[in-house]
Amino acid sequence: MPVSPVKPLFLPFSHQAININRVAGERKGLGIHQGQPKLFSEAPLNIKRSVYLFSVLLIIAGLYALLPIGCGKGSPTSPAPTHTPVPPTATDTPCGYPGNTCTLTFTVTSTATATSTFTHTFTLSPTLTYTATLTRTDTLTDTATITDTPTLTPTSTSTLTSTSTETPTNTSTSTATATPSMTPTPVPTPSYVGQWAIVSGGKPWTMALFGTTLYVTGGENIDVYSTSDLSTTTAQWVQYGSISFETTVGVAVNPKNGNVYFGDATANTVYQFTSTGVTVSVSTYGFNSPRGMVADTNGNYYVADEGNSRVEEFTPGNTLVTTWTAAGTHSLNSPEAVALDASNNLYIADGNPGRIYELAAGTNTLLNTWTFTAFDGVEQMAVNASGLVYAADFTSAKVEEYMPGIPGPVVSWNGSQGGGTAFGSAGGIVILPNGNILVADYEGTRLEEYAP
């Protein structure tokens, strides 16, 4: 068979090729090996191609393993966090009173998922081309651009080129959850408006308001003022018939007819007068040091019966309606003051252990509890239209403000702010028709007005 000389395609070791014979699919050649002529042969071409393919696969695997971290990953765009804020309602805590604003805190979790098809093409000239297609799914929070063109230096005359393409498919999801924590708008400290000395020289204790008429207890008397002019009294009551008042502490007004109730803690008696001072009734009932008093929209009056550790409700005719010896599951020990809000919910200040309780109207259902770290005796409380509770702390000589859902005072003040005079002892407190706060300073023998 004639021999046709060709250039060898692949030489596995150092040698100089002389010629190649092709016999029945087998190629033979004569070469120089280690300085000696030597006949060599190669396997059939299909076997050689298998070897080439296997080699290329190994190269591809090696290249992919050497690619930079993140090669083949998609580049998703993280979704914009979304949420739907829920406005606070009257039952939210601690923003449960009208006119107050809250800041809601939201926790937002966002994820972005990318599925990428990564194609890497290798061409081994002149005979073979191999394309590897890989799919990877990653959860990413960043964006990456991947450019890769690796180069190999083979030990033969063949050349290898490499290109990369990437086709990402992005899907994004966003979820939002609201944490049930709210920060109330800070309650400002009331600002000083003015003050008036007690004309009679007595010491003001507790107060009650009927329209523009103000009643102020003073130990052994009751002074009557008009809120249009607090510099002078319009009347003063000092006795009932032949019985002189001894310690007039609690006072309340029937909103239906203007009759005045007040309790004498020493005589253990509750008196009822018309607005002109005419006696209506006298009730001893069994009181033991009756102190704080308040009247509801029906004209019923409530008494903090401190010595008996209870609170009683009576009709205007002095008939007992309800007795509270506990607030919810909390036993009353030394109830000193009572108050009502616009819904007739009842507030009780218990001097021992130092708590204020709010009960649903006409029930023993506990709505709120406020506990104090330094509680020295509340003589009177008042609740404004927004639901803020004001307590006149007699011994500590300060006024403390409370709001639903917050166990301690949100504001505590002693009267000295804004040009006012510090309280000697805070006895009584009422909300005036204009919404301002009037405080009776027992030791200071004056009335002081503050704007909330």
Domain CATH number, residue 433: 2.120.10.30
Q: Are residues 412 and 360 in the same domain?
A: yes
Q: Are residues 221 and 173 in the same domain?
A: no
* Backbone dihedral region for residue 157 (phi beyond 0: left; psi -120 to 50: alpha; all else: beta): alpha
Q: Are residues 138 and 208 in the same domain?
A: no
| Dist. CA 422–CA 13, nearest whole Å | 107
Q: Would you say residue 24 lies in a domain? A: no
Q: Are residues 347 and 423 in the same domain?
A: yes
Q: Are residues 265 and 407 in the same domain?
A: yes
pLDDT value at residue 220 = 79
pLDDT value at residue 160 = 47
Q: Would you say residue 18 lies in a domain? A: no
Tokens of 177: 């959850």
Domain count, the chain: 2
pLDDT value at residue 130 = 54
pTM metric for this prediction: 0.63
Q: Would you say residue 261 lies in a domain? A: yes
pLDDT value at residue 418 = 85
Q: Would you say residue 265 lies in a domain? A: yes
| Dist. CA 164–CA 376, nearest whole Å | 81
Q: Would you say residue 6 lies in a domain? A: no
| Dist. CA 204–CA 198, nearest whole Å | 7
Q: Are residues 131 and 265 in the same domain?
A: no
Q: Are residues 170 and 230 in the same domain?
A: no
Range of the domain at 54: 46-78+89-184
Q: Tens place of pLDDT for every residue, the chain, 452 residues?
A: 444 443 343 333 333 333 334 434 444 444 444 555 554 444 444 555 555 555 655 555 554 444 444 444 444 555 554 444 444 443 444 444 444 444 544 444 555 566 656 565 656 555 555 555 555 555 544 333 433 343 333 334 444 455 555 555 556 555 545 444 455 567 789 999 999 998 777 889 999 999 999 999 987 788 999 999 999 999 888 876 666 778 888 999 999 999 999 899 999 999 999 988 888 999 999 999 999 999 999 999 999 999 999 999 999 999 999 999 999 999 999 999 999 999 999 999 998 888 999 999 999 999 999 987 555 678 999 999 988 999 999 888 999 999 888 888 888 999 998 888 999 999 999 999 999 999 999 999 999 999 99
Q: Are residues 161 and 254 in the same domain?
A: no
Q: Are residues 201 and 174 in the same domain?
A: no
Q: How far is C-alpha 152 from the geometric centre of its chain's CA atoms?
A: 62
pLDDT value at residue 335 = 94
> What is each CA distance from 260 to 109, 280, 288, in whole angstroms?
62, 9, 20
Q: Would you say residue 12 lies in a domain? A: no
Q: Point out the domain boundary residue: 169, 184, 199.
A: 184
Check if the beta carbon of residue 400 is closer than 8 Å to that of residue 414. Answer: no
Q: Would you say residue 267 lies in a domain? A: yes
Pairing of strands 279-283, 335-340: unpaired
Check if the beta carbon of residue 391 is closer than 8 Å to that of residue 400. Answer: yes
| Dist. CA 364–CA 76, nearest whole Å | 59
pLDDT value at residue 218 = 83
pLDDT value at residue 147 = 39
Q: Would you say residue 379 lies in a domain? A: yes
Amino acid at 10: F
Q: String of b and e for 343-376 (b: at least 16 CB within 10 Å)?
A: eebbbbbbbeebbbbbbeeeeeeebbebebeebe
Among 146, 150, 136, 138, which residue's Cα sits nearest to residue 59? 150
DSSP 303-332: EEEGGGTEEEEE-TT--EEEEESEETTEEP
Q: Are residues 159 and 197 in the same domain?
A: no
| CB-based burial label for 240 (10 Å; 0-12, 13-18, 19+) | middle
Q: Point out the domain boundary residue: 184, 218, 249.
A: 184
Q: Are residues 167 and 233 in the same domain?
A: no
Q: Are residues 195 and 176 in the same domain?
A: no
Q: Point out the domain boundary residue: 152, 184, 216.
A: 184
